[in-house]
Amino acid sequence: MMPLKKTIVILVSLSMFSTLFLSGCIFQDLIFGTSFNLKSWSLSDDDGFPAVSYSYTSSGYVTVKMYNSTSSLVDSDIYIQGDGEKTLFLGSYRETLPSGSYVLKTFDKNGNQIFSKKFKFKGMDVDIFSCDQRWWINANTKILLGLRLGLRNTGDVPVYPHSIELETDSETISGLVLPECVLPGDIEYVDCVLYKNDQPTDDDFNLILKDIDGLFLTSNVFSFDVSNSVTTKYFTEGVEKKLSVPYPDFLFSHYSNLDRVTDEDYSYYVFDPYDDYYLDIFIDRLISTLPFGEKKFNTYSDPEKINFISRIVQYLDYKEDTSYSNTSEYPNYPIETLFNRVIGCDCEDKAILTASLLDRLGYNVALIRLPNHMAVGVNLSNDAISRYSYYKDGYYYLETTMEESPIGFVPSQYTTSSESEIYPVSSRPYIRHTWVNNVFTIFTKMDAGDFVKLDAIVENNGRATAYNVKVEGAFVTMMNLTIQSDDYVISSLKPGKEQKVTLTISIPQTVLTTFKSRIYLDGKLVDFKESSEPFP
């Protein structure tokens, strides 16, 4: 893991002589008590969390807490003397805030409330005022693969659209909205992905917008317009005949602008849900290149289907990551691997794409990480392939960088499976965490001693709810002994959700340590980060 930075806050104890009376704030705290005031505030979005951002002035050490309309604690922070700018969350990740009052309360070091501020909100009010449709028209084929919605928020809380339902022709088509926040008073244009593979018979359709929890946001009726046709891309290698597919420029732009996650488990790139509908389109178009299309494909055995799907990936141009990013690994999302001819693709990119395609067809697949290589594993019955046997843990090996390499065949350099790690692409949680602003804060010379405060965002990027996720902050010796620690257990974390966790840990003074944050799922360490410098 990459070492992370630390922010140091030092509060120096002043002598109880003339310096005390020269310090207006210290004098005020002793005589008049600690004071705290908000100078300004505004509603904001903090990486998916509805929040209040504000500037403040404080004459001493304070604890600030935010309570929601049910008087439950939502967020908190601690500050020392001075002026500053901070943000407190008003709700959970991508939550549509209900109408009601929220209260910010400030407490001094003795726990006495010294300040209170009430925020009252009427709630969300969003409408869809425009709907541009992305149709792909090729010969007799018409495919609706996306919408671009104009959203206007006339309410007074942030709105986080997540999914859409398109009702037409006596059917309901579901889709996803690429992550976006519409702040109060703002207009945003958001992109949606969905799949309708035929010419509509109705003139109009009803569009329903929902949030991540399935709550209704708004709806509107629009007319079909097939005049906006997207670009066509072609594949000529690794296919029965030339393959033509619609080019999802809005999806490509979305993925190209995302930061890379370089965890060992690259299932993260398969789990991402926003390209699922497009991969279904790609698979359908690929199958259509067969004589008699789907009818022919359904006569294939499982190994034949897998070889047919993987063949087009095997023929994609191979290119090392260093030729583009100057790093050893720059994993691509499937859409990038398919359409970015500048970056090209290497073993992990081809493996991620192949696993994603086979996963959409319902196969039990895994990513196989080997020293300096990655392949795909496919779980089939032990007699599904007569010529080959399981590679590891019930998975047949599938090489994605060699043209015409069939399922089960293992290149000679990878025949030893003991050095490989299997990462199943299944209905499981995928837990990782980040430090807010990539830092933790050190408080020194405080009444309670020296301690570290860590704000961590814990994410579930998998497909199943995670239960009893233990978040731990600890000072660990060079011999890996934990000296001081604090932990918090998240009882449940749904797929696509995030949660903020705050920990405070006393700093050991008599032994050299490193600060680490560690995440445990079912008692197993699944993620960790550590400081770049030792303590004390």
pLDDT at residue 327, rounded to an integer: 54
Ranges 138-142, 301-305, 367-371: which has the least confidence: 138-142
pLDDT at residue 1, rounded to an integer: 42
pLDDT at residue 32, rounded to an integer: 55
The two three-digit tokens of residue 387, written as one number: 């010529």
| Dihedral (Cα; 303, 308, 309, 312), 10-degree rounding | 140
Average pLDDT on 74-84 reads 94
Classify domain 1-30+427-536 by CATH architecture: Sandwich (2.60)
* CATH fold match for the domains 34-120 and 232-425: no
Q: Which fold has domain 126-223?
A: Immunoglobulin-like (2.60.40)
Q: What is the mean pLDDT of the chain?
A: 91
pLDDT at residue 28, rounded to an integer: 45
- Identify the CATH number of the domain defined by range 34-120: 2.60.40.10
pLDDT at residue 14, rounded to an integer: 27
Each domain of the chain, given as residue ranges in start order, spans 1-30+427-536, 34-120, 126-223, 232-425
Structural class in CATH, domain 232-425? alpha beta
pLDDT at residue 326 tops 90: no
pLDDT at residue 201 tops 60: yes
Q: Contact 247/340 with Cβ under 8 angstroms?
A: no
Average pLDDT on 160-168 reads 97
The proportion of the chain whose per-residue pLDDT surpasses 90, expressed as a percent, equals 85
> Taking Cα atoms as reference points, which of 438, 516, 498, 490 lies closest to residue 462?
498
pLDDT at residue 5, rounded to an integer: 43
pLDDT classification of 251: cutoffs 50, 70, 90: very high
Distance CA 261, CA 281 (A): 26
Q: Contact 21/454 with Cβ under 8 angstroms?
A: no
Q: What are the two backbone dihedrals, phi and then psi, of residue 190, each rounded to the nearest 5 degrees? A: -115, 150
Average pLDDT on 149-173 reads 96
